[in-house]
Amino acid sequence: MNGNKLLMIGSLVVPMLLLVMRRPVLLFVQWTTFFGIIVWIRAGVHYISYIIDPNGNYFMVVIFFSILSLWTVASGLLLYDDNIRRLYRL
C-alpha cells in the first residue's frame, strides 16, 4: 500500500487540475499523458523480461500494452480538440 500512495495521489490530482482551466495546466496534463506512453512501453518490456520463457508466446502481452499505449495517445490528443482549446482559451 505504501508504494502506491504516490500513484494514487497523482491519479486523483492530475484530472482535478483540469478544473483550474488554465493553459499551463492543460499543457501539463497533455505532456503527462504523452509521458504515460513511455511508462506503458517500459512496463511491457519489464513484464516480458520478468517472466521470460524461451518458447513463450508474448503476442497477447504486446497487444495489450500496445492498446494501452494507443489509448494513452488518444487521451492526450483529445486535449487538442477545438472545443477543449476554446474552453481553455488557447
Q: How many domains does the chain have?
A: 1
pLDDT category of residue 2 using cuts at 50, 70 and 90: low
Write down the residue that cell numbers 512496463 correspond to: 43
pTM value? 0.58
Residue 59: predicted pLDDT: 80
Residue 10's domain spans which residues?
Answer: 2-87
